[in-house]
Amino acid sequence: MKKLNFSSVNISDLEKIVNLKLINNLSYFNDWFDFNYNLSEHENIFLEKTLKKLEAENRFRVGEFSEEEIKMKFISLILNELSFVGNGYKDWYERQIKANINGVIFNGTTDFIVASGEFEPKNPFFFIQAFKKSFKASNPIGQILAEMMVAIELNKNNNLMRGAFIYGSIWQFIVLEKVENLSYKYAISESFDSFKLIDLKKIYKNLIAVKNLYCEQK
Protein backbone atom coordinates (compact mmCIF):
# COMPACT_ATOMS: atom_id res chain seq x y z
CA MET A 1 0.00 0.00 0.00
CA LYS A 2 1.31 3.43 -0.95
CA LYS A 3 2.32 5.77 1.87
CA LEU A 4 2.71 9.55 1.89
CA ASN A 5 4.29 11.59 4.67
CA PHE A 6 2.90 15.03 5.45
CA SER A 7 6.34 16.61 5.19
CA SER A 8 6.74 15.69 1.51
CA VAL A 9 3.20 15.81 0.13
CA ASN A 10 2.18 18.56 -2.30
CA ILE A 11 -0.99 19.63 -4.10
CA SER A 12 -0.16 17.52 -7.15
CA ASP A 13 0.08 14.41 -4.99
CA LEU A 14 -3.31 15.11 -3.45
CA GLU A 15 -4.99 15.76 -6.79
CA LYS A 16 -3.99 12.26 -7.96
CA ILE A 17 -5.76 10.70 -4.97
CA VAL A 18 -8.86 12.84 -4.36
CA ASN A 19 -10.93 15.50 -6.07
CA LEU A 20 -9.71 18.80 -4.67
CA LYS A 21 -11.10 22.25 -5.51
CA LEU A 22 -9.92 25.67 -4.36
CA ILE A 23 -12.80 28.03 -3.59
CA ASN A 24 -11.85 31.69 -4.04
CA ASN A 25 -14.49 32.96 -1.66
CA LEU A 26 -13.58 34.65 1.62
CA SER A 27 -17.16 34.32 2.85
CA TYR A 28 -16.12 30.85 4.06
CA PHE A 29 -14.46 32.69 6.95
CA ASN A 30 -17.33 35.01 7.88
CA ASP A 31 -18.70 33.05 10.83
CA TRP A 32 -15.19 32.40 12.09
CA PHE A 33 -13.63 35.85 11.68
CA ASP A 34 -16.77 37.76 12.69
CA PHE A 35 -16.85 36.17 16.12
CA ASN A 36 -17.78 38.86 18.63
CA TYR A 37 -14.93 39.20 21.10
CA ASN A 38 -13.35 42.23 22.73
CA LEU A 39 -9.74 41.91 23.85
CA SER A 40 -9.22 42.57 27.53
CA GLU A 41 -6.76 45.13 28.82
CA HIS A 42 -4.45 42.29 29.83
CA GLU A 43 -4.61 40.77 26.33
CA ASN A 44 -3.93 44.10 24.63
CA ILE A 45 -0.91 44.72 26.86
CA PHE A 46 0.37 41.18 26.30
CA LEU A 47 0.15 41.49 22.49
CA GLU A 48 1.80 44.93 22.48
CA LYS A 49 4.68 43.75 24.70
CA THR A 50 5.12 40.55 22.72
CA LEU A 51 5.31 42.43 19.44
CA LYS A 52 7.78 45.01 20.79
CA LYS A 53 10.04 42.27 22.08
CA LEU A 54 9.85 40.36 18.82
CA GLU A 55 10.59 43.47 16.76
CA ALA A 56 13.50 44.51 18.95
CA GLU A 57 15.19 41.13 18.81
CA ASN A 58 14.19 39.56 15.54
CA ARG A 59 12.63 41.82 12.90
CA PHE A 60 15.64 41.62 10.58
CA ARG A 61 16.32 37.95 11.28
CA VAL A 62 12.91 36.35 10.95
CA GLY A 63 13.54 35.43 7.30
CA GLU A 64 16.44 33.26 8.43
CA PHE A 65 14.73 31.57 11.34
CA SER A 66 14.55 27.80 11.46
CA GLU A 67 11.13 26.28 11.94
CA GLU A 68 11.88 25.62 15.62
CA GLU A 69 12.99 29.22 16.16
CA ILE A 70 9.72 30.51 14.71
CA LYS A 71 7.81 28.25 17.06
CA MET A 72 9.75 29.02 20.22
CA LYS A 73 10.34 32.74 19.80
CA PHE A 74 6.82 33.70 18.85
CA ILE A 75 4.13 31.11 18.14
CA SER A 76 4.53 29.36 21.50
CA LEU A 77 4.06 32.66 23.35
CA ILE A 78 0.72 33.26 21.64
CA LEU A 79 -0.52 29.68 22.11
CA ASN A 80 0.47 29.59 25.79
CA GLU A 81 -1.39 32.84 26.43
CA LEU A 82 -4.48 31.47 24.68
CA SER A 83 -4.32 28.15 26.58
CA PHE A 84 -6.02 25.70 24.25
CA VAL A 85 -7.30 23.53 27.08
CA GLY A 86 -11.03 23.17 27.69
CA ASN A 87 -13.94 20.83 28.17
CA GLY A 88 -13.11 17.75 26.14
CA TYR A 89 -10.11 19.17 24.24
CA LYS A 90 -6.52 20.29 24.67
CA ASP A 91 -3.44 21.17 22.68
CA TRP A 92 -0.99 18.58 21.37
CA TYR A 93 2.49 19.14 19.93
CA GLU A 94 4.59 16.99 17.61
CA ARG A 95 2.05 14.16 17.53
CA GLN A 96 1.62 11.54 14.82
CA ILE A 97 -1.69 10.94 13.07
CA LYS A 98 -2.55 8.74 10.10
CA ALA A 99 -5.45 7.49 8.00
CA ASN A 100 -6.16 5.55 4.82
CA ILE A 101 -7.59 7.78 2.08
CA ASN A 102 -8.42 6.08 -1.21
CA GLY A 103 -5.91 3.32 -0.63
CA VAL A 104 -3.07 5.64 0.39
CA ILE A 105 -1.76 5.85 3.95
CA PHE A 106 -1.22 9.48 4.93
CA ASN A 107 0.87 9.90 8.05
CA GLY A 108 3.32 12.17 9.78
CA THR A 109 3.93 14.50 12.68
CA THR A 110 1.84 17.62 13.20
CA ASP A 111 3.25 20.83 14.69
CA PHE A 112 0.15 21.69 16.70
CA ILE A 113 -3.34 20.30 16.91
CA VAL A 114 -6.31 20.85 19.16
CA ALA A 115 -8.06 17.54 19.73
CA SER A 116 -10.01 15.45 22.19
CA GLY A 117 -8.22 12.68 24.06
CA GLU A 118 -6.66 12.07 27.43
CA PHE A 119 -3.28 10.50 26.66
CA GLU A 120 -3.17 10.82 22.87
CA PRO A 121 -5.08 12.95 20.33
CA LYS A 122 -8.29 11.37 19.08
CA ASN A 123 -10.73 13.69 17.32
CA PRO A 124 -8.89 16.73 15.91
CA PHE A 125 -10.56 20.13 15.64
CA PHE A 126 -7.85 22.60 14.56
CA PHE A 127 -4.30 22.66 13.16
CA ILE A 128 -1.37 25.05 13.03
CA GLN A 129 1.63 24.33 10.82
CA ALA A 130 4.75 26.50 10.84
CA PHE A 131 7.25 26.76 7.99
CA LYS A 132 10.72 28.22 7.99
CA LYS A 133 11.94 31.18 5.99
CA SER A 134 9.43 31.94 3.24
CA PHE A 135 6.38 30.57 1.47
CA LYS A 136 8.48 29.70 -1.58
CA ALA A 137 11.03 27.83 0.50
CA SER A 138 8.49 25.33 1.82
CA ASN A 139 5.03 25.45 0.34
CA PRO A 140 2.71 24.52 3.21
CA ILE A 141 -0.66 24.08 1.52
CA GLY A 142 -0.33 20.45 0.42
CA GLN A 143 1.00 19.44 3.81
CA ILE A 144 -1.69 21.07 5.92
CA LEU A 145 -4.44 19.90 3.57
CA ALA A 146 -3.20 16.31 3.94
CA GLU A 147 -3.22 16.68 7.72
CA MET A 148 -6.75 18.10 7.66
CA MET A 149 -7.98 15.28 5.39
CA VAL A 150 -6.66 12.78 7.90
CA ALA A 151 -8.38 14.74 10.68
CA ILE A 152 -11.73 14.52 8.88
CA GLU A 153 -11.28 10.76 8.56
CA LEU A 154 -10.48 10.47 12.26
CA ASN A 155 -13.29 12.79 13.37
CA LYS A 156 -16.17 10.94 11.74
CA ASN A 157 -18.80 13.44 12.88
CA ASN A 158 -17.21 16.47 11.25
CA ASN A 159 -16.73 16.99 7.50
CA LEU A 160 -15.20 20.43 7.92
CA MET A 161 -11.77 21.19 9.36
CA ARG A 162 -9.97 24.46 10.08
CA GLY A 163 -6.33 25.37 10.42
CA ALA A 164 -3.60 27.95 9.95
CA PHE A 165 -0.19 27.94 8.33
CA ILE A 166 2.64 30.31 9.13
CA TYR A 167 5.70 31.30 7.11
CA GLY A 168 7.94 33.89 8.69
CA SER A 169 5.68 36.55 10.20
CA ILE A 170 2.74 35.77 7.88
CA TRP A 171 -0.32 33.81 9.00
CA GLN A 172 -3.06 32.48 6.75
CA PHE A 173 -6.09 30.47 7.79
CA ILE A 174 -7.58 27.60 5.84
CA VAL A 175 -10.89 25.71 5.76
CA LEU A 176 -11.26 22.23 4.24
CA GLU A 177 -14.65 20.61 3.63
CA LYS A 178 -15.34 17.05 2.54
CA VAL A 179 -18.34 17.41 0.25
CA GLU A 180 -18.69 13.73 -0.66
CA ASN A 181 -16.55 10.62 -0.74
CA LEU A 182 -13.06 11.54 -2.03
CA SER A 183 -14.17 15.07 -2.97
CA TYR A 184 -13.03 18.14 -1.07
CA LYS A 185 -13.09 21.90 -1.40
CA TYR A 186 -10.93 24.38 0.46
CA ALA A 187 -10.57 28.12 0.97
CA ILE A 188 -7.58 30.19 2.07
CA SER A 189 -7.89 33.47 3.95
CA GLU A 190 -6.14 36.73 3.30
CA SER A 191 -2.68 37.14 4.85
CA PHE A 192 -2.13 38.52 8.35
CA ASP A 193 1.27 39.99 9.20
CA SER A 194 1.99 39.30 12.86
CA PHE A 195 4.57 42.12 12.89
CA LYS A 196 1.68 44.58 12.55
CA LEU A 197 -0.26 45.09 15.77
CA ILE A 198 -3.65 45.36 14.08
CA ASP A 199 -3.06 42.04 12.27
CA LEU A 200 -1.65 40.38 15.39
CA LYS A 201 -4.84 41.27 17.26
CA LYS A 202 -6.92 39.78 14.43
CA ILE A 203 -4.86 36.58 14.55
CA TYR A 204 -5.38 36.36 18.30
CA LYS A 205 -9.14 36.96 18.01
CA ASN A 206 -9.42 34.34 15.24
CA LEU A 207 -7.75 31.82 17.54
CA ILE A 208 -10.07 32.80 20.40
CA ALA A 209 -12.97 32.12 18.01
CA VAL A 210 -11.63 28.61 17.35
CA LYS A 211 -11.76 27.86 21.07
CA ASN A 212 -15.28 29.16 21.47
CA LEU A 213 -16.88 27.92 18.27
CA TYR A 214 -15.21 24.73 17.09
CA CYS A 215 -13.25 22.92 19.80
CA GLU A 216 -15.76 20.55 21.26
CA GLN A 217 -16.84 17.01 20.71
CA LYS A 218 -20.13 16.86 18.81
Nearest alpha-carbon partner for 184 in 200, 204, 161: 161
Quote the pLDDT of residue 118.
Answer: 87
Tell me how far apart the alpha carbons of residues 87 and 66 are, in angstroms, rounded to a whole number: 34
Q: Strands 170-180, 89-101: parallel, antiparallel or unpaired by DSSP? A: unpaired
> CB-hemisphere CA count at 13 Å for 191?
9
Quote the pLDDT of residue 216.
Answer: 67
Yes or no: say if 139 and 129 are a contact pair by the CB < 8 Å rule: no
Using CB atoms within 10 Å of the CB of residue 119, give its burial: 0 to 12 exposed, 13 to 18 middle, 19+ buried.
exposed
Quote the pLDDT of residue 168.
Answer: 76
SS3 170: strand
Yes or no: say if 116 and 122 are a contact pair by the CB < 8 Å rule: yes
First to last CA, the chain: 32
Other beta carbons less than 10 A from residue 22's beta carbon: 11
Quote the pLDDT of residue 72.
Answer: 79
Q: Please report whether residue 35 resides in a domain.
A: yes
**What are the two backbone dihedrals, phi and then psi, of residue 13, each rounded to the nearest 5 degrees?**
-60, -45
Quote the pLDDT of residue 135.
Answer: 47
Quote the pLDDT of residue 134.
Answer: 47
Helices (H), 59-128: 67-70, 76-82
How many domains does the chain fold into? 1
Tell me how far apart the alpha carbons of residues 139 and 64 are, in angstroms, rounded to a whole number: 16
Quote the pLDDT of residue 65.
Answer: 65
Yes or no: say if 148 and 97 are a contact pair by the CB < 8 Å rule: no
Quote the pLDDT of residue 62.
Answer: 57
Q: What is the pLDDT along the chain (218 residues), one digit of tens a residue?
A: 799 999 889 999 999 999 999 999 999 899 999 999 999 999 999 999 988 877 776 655 655 666 677 777 778 889 999 999 988 899 999 999 999 999 999 999 998 999 998 888 988 999 998 765 544 444 678 999 999 999 999 988 789 999 999 887 889 999 999 999 999 999 999 999 988 999 999 999 999 999 999 986 55
Yes or no: say if 18 and 182 are a contact pair by the CB < 8 Å rule: yes
Tell me how far apart the alpha carbons of residues 49 and 109 are, in angstroms, rounded to a whole number: 32
Quote the pLDDT of residue 138.
Answer: 46
Q: Which domain holds residue 191?
A: 2-213
Tell me how far apart the alpha carbons of residues 130 and 149 are, in angstroms, rounded to a whole number: 18
Quote the pLDDT of residue 55.
Answer: 73
Q: Please report whether residue 161 resides in a domain.
A: yes
Q: Please report whether residue 218 resides in a domain.
A: no
